[in-house]
Amino acid sequence: MVCYCVRDPTDGKDYVMKDCWVPEAKRYHEVAVLKQVHGIPNVVQLVDDWDVMYDGEPDCTARIRDRYQQFDPDDRDDHRFCNRFHRQLVMTPCGEPLSHFSSRKELICAFCDFVVAHRLMVECGILHGDLSLNNFIIYEGNSYFIDFDYARFIEEGKTSTISFGTGTIPYISMRVLKKMLRNAETVKKTADATQLQQIEHYMCDDLESMFYIFFEFVTKYGGAHGIVAPTWDKLAMPWLEAYENLGASSLLTTFLSKKGAIYEGDFLMDRVSDYFSEFKPLVNEWRSQIHLTEIDTNATIIHDHIFQMLAMFIAKLEDSDEIPIPIPLPYPPPQSPTVQPTAGPSTLPRTGTTWSSTS
């Protein structure tokens, strides 16, 4: 998967183009989800999508594989092969990583907006299910959810979705991690994938993920526009360290380190950067809400709890005198596009900015 920043030569407007190879069973999944959430503020919007064509047919890995199999006929019975289709999605806005926030207030308002947008998506029957630092962007002071690859449709009358566990491990809720851990142990013991338990994913799991993301921001960043705090150390977030270094035992260690941190209020507050020190009470309040759901099985976190907490905090926050993000100069209309798209109905040229997949 690669994302390009592409520009419409007629008005100079930028879009993002996601170029991906999608499993056949999920060929139109992200598009279907994006259509369902279309119009919700703070959610990236789909503009266009298409199959990339090859010799008049939608391109896919089976076509490439068939050509290789002429030389390797023994490879034909690989049942694990999953055919993937080459797709391109054009979306707006094309922003920057959320770490480019221009002030503390802008960042905390972004989280407040995320809570509202997440609630609206749930009301539309969509659970994002893969919240991570890299799945948010910021554009002209507004923040957006992106990446609906792992989003799921909530069935009528249900409050959760079912999977075998999705998400980016350092941000997955403790409840989902625990179930993923059980499944990993089952497979290790029995080598039988049919014994895997399905895992329900609730909106409170996404809201817990949001806390870990928020905590990473207030620990890692020591200023606006992506300045990393001199005090930042990955050990401040042991669940991140566990995920990156421990391989097979990462699920267990990630789970246990989160659990420990949620029970020990001081642990988290002590790791907040100087720049965000005003946010310590908020870190502690959000942590204690999660802690409450750990000790009382009837307790749950809903959007309104988090929204109220953030809104009250924002109301008390002093207006900061931080340097606003520089306003980009107006883009001169190009004489002629440098690169023409090779597929699909759009006439958007690429400008060559790429990001590789981070999850």
Position of minimal CB gap to Mg ion: 147
Please report how close the Cβ of residue 218 comes to Mg ion at its closest, in angstroms: 22
Residue 163: in which H helix or E strand, if any?
strand 160-163
Name the minimum Å distance from CB 355 to ligand ADP. Answer: 4
Backbone φ and ψ of 3, nearest 5°: -110, 135
Question: Which range touches Mg ion (CB under 5 A), out of 28-36, 135-143, 156-164, 188-196?
Answer: 135-143
Residue 30 binds Mg ion, judged by CB under 5 A: no
Report the interface residues with ligand ADP, using CB under 6 A: 1, 3, 16, 18, 44, 91, 94-95, 134-135, 137, 146-147, 149, 355, 357-359
The stretch near Mg ion (CB under 5 A) out of 119-127, 144-152, 214-222, 255-263 is 144-152
Nearer to ligand ADP, 94 or 154 (CB): 94
Report the DSSP beta bridge partners of residue 353. 5
Q: In whole angstroms, give the CA distance from residue 223 to residue 41.
A: 27
Residue 166 sits in the site that holds Mg ion (CB under 5 A): no
CB of 349 to Mg ion, least distance (A): 24
Residue of 128, 111, 118 lying closest to 163 (CA atoms) = 128
Question: What gap in Å lies between CA 117 and CA 119, rounded to an integer?
Answer: 5
Q: How many CB atoms lie within 10 A of CB 288?
A: 11
Give the number of other CB atoms < 10 A from CB of residue 270: 11
Find the shortest distance in angstroms from Cβ 30 to Mg ion.
11
Number of alpha carbons in the 13 Å side-chain half-sphere of residue 47: 21
Nearer to ligand ADP, 91 or 127 (CB): 91
Helix, strand or coil for residue 92?
strand
Size of interface with Mg ion, in residues (CB under 5 A): 3
Whose CA is closest to 41, among 89, 112, 105? 112
The entry of Mg ion, ligand ADP, none that residue 3 binds, CB within 5 to 8 Å by partner kind: ligand ADP
Q: Which is nearer to ligand ADP, 46 or 262 (CB)?
A: 46
Strand partners, 21: 86
- Cβ 358 to ligand ADP, closest distance in Å? 5
Residue 2 or 339 with smaller CB distance to Mg ion: 2
SS3 326: coil
CA angle 321, 139, 37 (to 5 degrees): 130
Instruction: Tell me whether strands 2-7 and 350-356 are parallel, antiparallel or unpaired.
Output: antiparallel
Tokens matching residue 182: 């059980």
147 is a contact residue toward Mg ion (CB under 5 A): yes
The stretch near Mg ion (CB under 5 A) out of 29-37, 61-69, 127-135, 315-323 is: 127-135
CA distances to 109, 203, 246, 328 from 114, rounded to whole Å, are: 9, 13, 31, 25
Q: Which stretch binds Mg ion (CB under 5 A): 129-137, 230-238, 269-277, 285-293?
A: 129-137
- 310: partner contacted, choices ligand ADP, Mg ion, none (Cβ within 5-8 A by kind): none
135: contact with Mg ion by CB under 5 A:
yes
Instruction: For the CB of residue 292, give the shortest distance to Mg ion in the complex, in Å.
Output: 30
**CB nearer to ligand ADP: pick between 150 and 313:** 150
> How far, in Å, are 60, 92, 215, 344, 357 from residue 20 at the CA level?
11, 17, 31, 14, 10
d(CA 280, CA 71): 62
Q: How far is the CB of 305 from ligand ADP (least distance, A)?
A: 28
Measured from the CB atom, the residue of 186 and 359 that comes closer to Mg ion is 359
| Minimum CB–partner distance for residue 55 and ligand ADP (Å) | 27
User: What does 198 interact with, of Mg ion, ligand ADP, none (CB < 5 to 8 A by kind)?
Assistant: none
Closest to 242 (Cα-Cα) out of 231, 225, 255: 255
Give the nearest distance from C-beta 83 to ligand ADP in angstroms: 19
Binding site for Mg ion (CB under 5 A): 135, 147, 359
